[in-house]
A and B are shown apart, each in its own frame.
Chain A
Amino acid sequence: MKKLLTAAAAVLLIAGVAGCTTKPKDDGGPGGPGGPIAGPGPGADDGIDRDTTAPIPGSEQDFIINVGDRVYFDFDEYAIRGDARPILDAQAAWLNRYRSVRVRIEGNADERGTREYNFALGGRRAAAVRDYLVSRGVDPSRIETISYGKERPIDPGSNEEAWARNRNAHTAITAGAR
């Protein structure tokens, strides 16, 4: 993840000011990460030279950087938060554009709970994201879900910020991306 973001920063530097569409660092606190910065979409022809390290439209990097592959949840909750909706809307739009892509939604929970219950909670979060994407037109046969419970945190810290980051659902591309 960090390597992709460093590449994105490098692209921004090389390409100049307003050319590139980038996403801020995936640092979801309770407020949640913002959506992509407004700018021309991938592939737009606006006369600005782009470095060839820009993500290929329809690629996994494109999805991660320009759409956002992770949404966050409140403690013991699996409802889709308000700040998650734009990201999931963008995921659905992207998946509806690149119809060969298949994904796996991975539900995660923080460590402040017991193993089996948090495993169940991760499953609920993954299902909630899948249901949302399906409601936005994505064919359910393209979506698998799994829970990782509290077993695969993205932040090893033991504080509120780390726990907030670890309460998430991750949309992983499993096939069909460029």
Chain B
Amino acid sequence: MRLIALFAAMTSLVLSSVAVPTVAQTPATPPAADAPIEGEVTEGVIRPYPIAIAPFSGPHGADIAKVVAADLERSGYFQVIDPNAFIQRNLDVSVTPAFDAWRQINAQGLVIGADVLDADGRLRSNFRLWDIYGQQQLLGIQFTATPENWRRIAHKIADAIYEKLTGEKGYFDTRIVFVAESGPKTKRVKRLGLMDQDGANPQYLTDGSCQVMTPRFSSTSQEVTYMCLGDNYARIYLLNLDTRRQERLGEFNGVVFAPRFSPDGTKVVFSVERAGNVDLMMMNLRTRSTSRLTSDPSIDTSGSFSPDGRLIVFNSDRGGSPQLYVMNADGSGVRRISQGGGRYHTPVWSPRGDWIAFTKQAGGRFSIGVMRPDGSGERLLTSSYFEEGPSWAPNGRYIMFHREAPGVNPRLWYVDLSGRVERQAPYSGSASDPAWSPLLD
């Protein structure tokens, strides 16, 4: 069975030369036009695709190969072969590999590369992806960037390999915003954290004087929105990651929370509590005008836009218990979509539009699950003593969330859409409320 058949939608990828501000990409030779490589799935168990990634030659060559290997391994669909097992070594990037030597160590794919520093000081990284069994080159691309952006090059290489071999868009050249937690539960310090999706470059963007909750990335700009809770206030903020300028959004009587960007980045949907009633509101970020979306006496919170911006899914207990509802972006046409027993929370629409992820609470346990936008096809992907807060990778195939247990601080975890890959995320600190950025650039 094909590796790519594990994914709901299969699209063939056409690699093109795209000029991007930070990392430039050009095909070194035209890629082979064959269909994606076949992996194997037997009885629901993934047999990962064995791939060999040789250290690249030149500056940052070993580092780039390691980051590429770690990205692919973390996806759960690749088994990276130990370089110590390689028979053929120090392969020049422009040379055809000795396929027998790679078949002997059971490699199905091979990545070789070379880095050089150009005269203008930029780092140019050139790699090839070889199909060992088909004995043909699948990819040949080169990326250029300033040398300090070598990690971005590595993630773009990993994305290109992942796309070619799975048929899915990559998700490695992304960042995660999250809440970094410290201190005792009764006096928890919660700061806004930012890191590469592989855990590199962690930074803390707030000082802990208020407790940060539920941050979200814009999908169109380098902006984050989040709520911060102080002793006598709860406000939502907009933070520009490039300028580090932070501004408060709006002034309201009552607490404000749960902010989310619209897909076009021009609006924020959020929740306001007044006199015990919690409703969804919308703010236009350009004009700063606000409008009310719901006016039910129930709790209406955790709004999330569909990727086309026309619909909003949200969490409401208007029917007596917390469930998921969908409405038009103007607040009309409210209908319930969650159908199972139990309590549903934190709905998040996939960037591909095909699923809505949620947190479900039932029988004393918490689960991350997905359902179709009409509520059908509900599947639980994970389950534990406590977990919540799903966030989609931009390819709509991975979900990050947080999990905790008695005596165990919250940690970031991720799961893939099949539910077969479930792992702790590569951030070792205590953390919650992750939100995934779009692909960078």
Given A78-B276, A116-B258, A119-B213: A148 in contact with B302 (beta carbons within 8 A): no
Decide: B184 and A156 in contact? CB cutoff 8 A. yes
Please choose the segment from B33-41, B79-87, B228-236, B419-427 that sits at the chain A interface, where 4 or more of its residues have CB less than 8 A away.
B228-236
- Cβ distance A104 to chain B, nearest Cβ, rounded Å: 6
Provide the B264-282 mask, 1 if CB < 8 A to any CB of A, else 0: 0000000101011110000
Residue pair B214, A115 in contact (C-beta under 8 Å) = yes
Which residues of A are found within 8 Å of B213, using beta-carbon distances? 115-116, 119, 149, 151
Are B271 and A120 in contact (CB-based, < 8 A)?
yes
Contact with B along A114-128 (1 / 0, CB 8 A): 111101110110111
Assembled-state Cα–Cα distance A116/B229 (Å):
12
Bound complex: CA A104 to CA B386 (Å): 31
A 110-159 contacts with B by CB, 8 A: 111-117, 119-121, 123-124, 126-128, 131, 144-149, 151-156, 158
> Contact: A116 with B233, CB < 8 Å?
no
Q: A114-B389, A120-B299 are in contact. Are A152 and B255 (CB under 8 A)?
A: no
Chain A at the B interface: SS class: mixed
Q: CA separation between A146 and B256, bound complex, in Å? A: 10
Q: Is the CB of B406 within 8 A of A146?
A: no
Q: Is the CB of B278 within 8 A of A123?
A: yes
Complex partner residue of A117 from B187, B255, B315, CB under 8 angstroms: B315
Knowing A116-B346, A117-B345 are in contact, say whether A146-B299 is a contact too (CB < 8 A): no
Task: Tell me which residues across on chain B come within 8 A of A151, comparing CB atoms.
Answer: 188, 190, 211, 213, 229
Contact B276 A116 (CB under 8 A): no
Q: Is the beta-carbon distance between A114 and B255 smaller than 8 angstroms? A: no
Residues in chain A near residue B276, CB distance under 8 A = 78, 123-124, 126-128, 131
Contact between chains at B361 and A114 (CB < 8 Å): yes
Q: Are B234 and A116 in contact (CB under 8 A)?
A: no
Q: Are A114 and B346 in contact (CB under 8 A)?
A: yes
Q: Which residues of B contact A112 (CB under 8 A)?
A: 361, 386
Choice from B185, B187, B278, B389 contacting A120 with Cβ under 8 Å: B278
Q: How many residues of B contact A (CB 8 A)?
A: 41
Whether A158 touches B229, Cβ cut-off 8 Å, given contacts A127-B276, A152-B186, is no
Please tell me if the beta carbons of B211 and A117 are within 8 angstroms of each other in the complex: no
With a CB–CB cut-off of 8 A, which chain A residues contact B345? 113-114, 116-117
Query: Which residue on A lies nearest to B432, using beta carbons?
Result: A115
Mask: chain B, 185-212; 1 = CB below 8 Å from A; 0 = not: 1111010000000000000000000010
Complex interface: chain A residues within 8 A of B275 (CB): 127, 131
- Distance in Å from the Cβ of A142 to the closest Cβ of chain B? 14
Q: How far is the CA of A99 from the CA of B227 in the complex (A)?
A: 34
Majority-rule SS of B interface residues = strand
Q: Given A119-B257, A151-B213, are A111 and B278 neighbors across the interface (CB < 8 Å)?
A: no
When the two chains form their complex, are residues A116 and B185 in contact, meaning their CB atoms are under 8 A apart?
no
The answer on a CB contact under 8 Å between B315 and A115 is no
Please tell me if the beta carbons of B234 and A115 are within 8 angstroms of each other in the complex.
no
A148 contact from B190, B229, B346, B389, Cβ within 8 A: B229
B104 to chain A, nearest CB (A): 52
Residues of chain A within 8 A (CB-CB) of B432 are 115
User: Given A117-B299, A124-B299, A146-B234 in contact, is the A156-B211 Cβ separation under 8 Å?
Assistant: no
Assess whether B299 is in contact with A115, with CB atoms less than 8 Å apart. no
Q: How far apart are A163's CB and chain B's nearest CB, in angstroms?
A: 11
Nearest-Cβ distance from residue B185 to partner chain A, whole angstroms: 4
Per a CB cutoff under 8 Å, which of A114, A119, A154 touches B359?
Answer: A114
Please provide the chain B residues from 61 to 102 with a CB less than 8 Å away from any CB of chain A in the complex.
Answer: none
Residues of the A chain whose Cβ atoms lie less than 8 Å from the Cβ of B184: 156
Complex formed: what's the CA distance from A113 to B273 in Å? 18
Partner of A123, one of B255, B359, B406, B433: B255
Knowing A114-B346, A116-B214, A116-B301 touch, does A147 contact B273 (C-beta < 8 A)? yes
B388 within 8 A of A: yes
Given A113-B361, A127-B275, A146-B232 in contact, is the A120-B186 Cβ separation under 8 Å? no
The smallest beta-carbon distance between B100 and chain A, in angstroms, is: 55
Q: Is B407 an interface residue (CB 8 A)?
A: yes
Q: Which residues of B contact A120 (CB under 8 A)?
A: 271, 273, 278, 299, 301
- A69 vs B273: C-alpha distance in the bound complex, in angstroms? 23
Within 8 A of B (CB), among A71-100: 78
Chain A's nearest CB lies how many Å from the CB of B425? 18
Which A residue sits closest to B405, measured CB to CB? A158
The closest CB in chain B to the CB of A123 belongs to B273
Q: Enumerate 6 A-B pairs (CB-CB under 8 Å) in ascending A order.
A: A112-B386, A113-B361, A115-B432, A116-B214, A117-B302, A174-B232
Other than A124-B299, A149-B229, give 6 A-B pairs with Cβ distance below 8 A: A117-B301, A117-B317, A147-B273, A155-B186, A156-B184, A174-B232
A-B complex: 5 closest residue pairs judged by Cβ atoms: A127-B276, A158-B406, A114-B345, A123-B273, A156-B185
